[in-house]
Amino acid sequence: MLENSFSSMSKRMKSSIIRELLRDTGIVSLISFGGGAPDPETFDREVLAEISKDVILNEYKFALQYGPTEGDPILKNEYIKVLKERKGINGLKPENLLITTGSQQALDLIGRIMLDTDSYVIVGHPVYLGAISAFKSYGPKFIAVDIEDDGFNIDQMEKEIKKLDQNKELSKLRFVYAVPNFDNPSGVTLSLEKRKALVDLSRKYNFMIVEDDPYGELRYEGERLPDLYEIAEGHNVLLLNTLSKVMSPGLRIGLIVGDSKIVAKAALGKQGVDLCTPGLTQRIAARYLQKGTIFERIKESVKIYRSKKNKMLDAIEKYVKIDGARWTRPDGGLFIWLELPKNFDTMELFEKAKKIGVAYIPGTAFYVDDRKSSAMRLSFCLPSEDEIEEGIKRIGHLLEIDR
């Protein structure tokens, strides 16, 4: 087959810079602040192992068989309970939920059912690149709005929306993509005021909000803020959730919550895409949620991650002695965003960093316009505290040499 006989969609696909950068590093002593993978020691493996065995032995007619595209009914019921207890979302029915093969599939399905090549999507700058890669293959145009210490620059967002309106293109604005809790990569939390303002905008100009909340349960400081979905009472919001950061990413359990018509459309898309998410991993997740111990377990993870986060903040304070450097102090999640003065190019520095045994994600990965960046995303979830100290020390040295 000839190269030029690939589809136009395939030409829009771009490899994740994270996956490429972190591929086969092969350096044994490498300390990686790169991926967003949780600490595997937080996985409740003894309990999951027993559940898995029981589920295969006793529920094999479901767990090992084809299942409904919409998801395991038992898992959906358990998720409805969790959303009620933890987020105060009432009145959800099974038809408001679609179980997906990880959050990534939720993002892809939303792109699939909502985006055309003349559509617009508003995102933050910086923005989670997995979402961009999912949406991008459907060819929309991105409008990027600055992320400030309390989230989106809402004024700038409204200005952009008004521009679309003036150009008679408002109906092509499909949605705003938002990670209100401990955003990836910035670690920033959208303030209550701005949450309300965003929901108001969505009502005023009648666009959807895709609210991605993988980290909400991983709060280390401060009080929980209401989800956009709650504030909007479900109107015009699709809420995405996942068990990847609080149970296990290897189970690949994601969730879309929203209007039943949109959910049905996404399920129709899923039929063609993978028929159903594995019955085995869904039923394991369902039985695990049913035990009711997950939130005690998450408390333990929160302790571990809080301590790692503080360790990293202390280490940055101690070792990053660059005038003008600034970094976020996230209330939760997995990431710290470190911005250096403009003369640094963190993409250029990346290879040097790898040579001295430390990896991060260069900021450029998180901009839809591929701009140069003097920032880096530092994930504190996977390395040990000693590795965090040592890794940040190495970065500090590198910056000293390079400035």
- The count of other CB atoms within 10 Å of the CB of residue 145 is 22
Question: Residue type for 123, please?
Answer: V
Q: What is the dihedral of CA 328, 331, 335, 338, to 10 degrees?
A: 10
> Residue 176 interacts with its own copies (CB under 8 A)?
no
Interface positions, 120-159, toward its own copies (CB under 8 A)? 130, 133-134, 136-138
The SS3 of residue 194 is: helix
CB of 385 to its own copies, least distance (A): 19
Nearest CA among 378, 345, 380, 336 for reference residue 360: 378
**Closer CB to its own copies, residue 274 or residue 400?**
274
List the one residue from 82, 98, 99, 115 that touches its own copies (CB under 8 A): 115
Q: Region of 91 please: left (phi>0), alpha (psi -120 to 50) or beta.
A: left
Structure tokens at 105: 């599939």
CB of 257 to its own copies, least distance (A): 14
Question: Judged by CB under 8 A, does residue 268 bind its own copies?
Answer: yes
Name which of 185, 188, 64, 180 is nearest 130 in CA terms: 185
Which of the residues 55 through 74 are near its own copies (CB under 8 A)?
Answer: 56-57, 60-67, 69
Question: Amino acid letter at 58?
Answer: N
Work out how close the CB of 14 gets to its own copies at its nearest, in angstroms, rounded to a whole number.
8
In the complex, minimum distance from the CB of residue 24 to its own copies, in angstroms, rounded to a whole number: 10
> Of the candidates 34, 71, 102, 151, which one interacts with its own copies according to CB under 8 A?
102
Cβ closer to its own copies: 11 or 162?
Answer: 11
Kindly state whether residue 8 participates in binding its own copies, applying the rule CB under 8 A: yes
CB count, 10 Å around CB of 177? 24
CB 72 within 8 A of CB 97: no
124 or 249, CB closer to its own copies? Answer: 249
Binding of its own copies by 178 (CB under 8 A): no
Q: Smallest gap, in angstroms, from Cβ of residue 90 to its own copies?
A: 22
Of 82, 83, 89, 114, the one binding its own copies (CB under 8 A) is 114
In the region spanning residues 207 to 226, those forming contacts with its own copies, defined by CB under 8 A, are 208
Residues of span 16-35 touching its own copies by CB under 8 A: 16, 19, 35
Is residue 401 a contact point for its own copies (CB under 8 A)? Answer: no
3-state SS of 12-81 is: HCCCCHHHHHCCCCCCCCCEECCCCCCCHHHCCHHHHHHHHHHHHHHCHHHHCCCCCCCCCHHHHHHHHH
CB of 301 to its own copies, least distance (A): 13
Under 8 Å between Cβ of 360 and 346: yes
Candidate residues 74, 86, 104, 325; the one interacting with its own copies per rule CB under 8 A: 104
Residue 262 touches its own copies, criterion: CB under 8 A:
yes
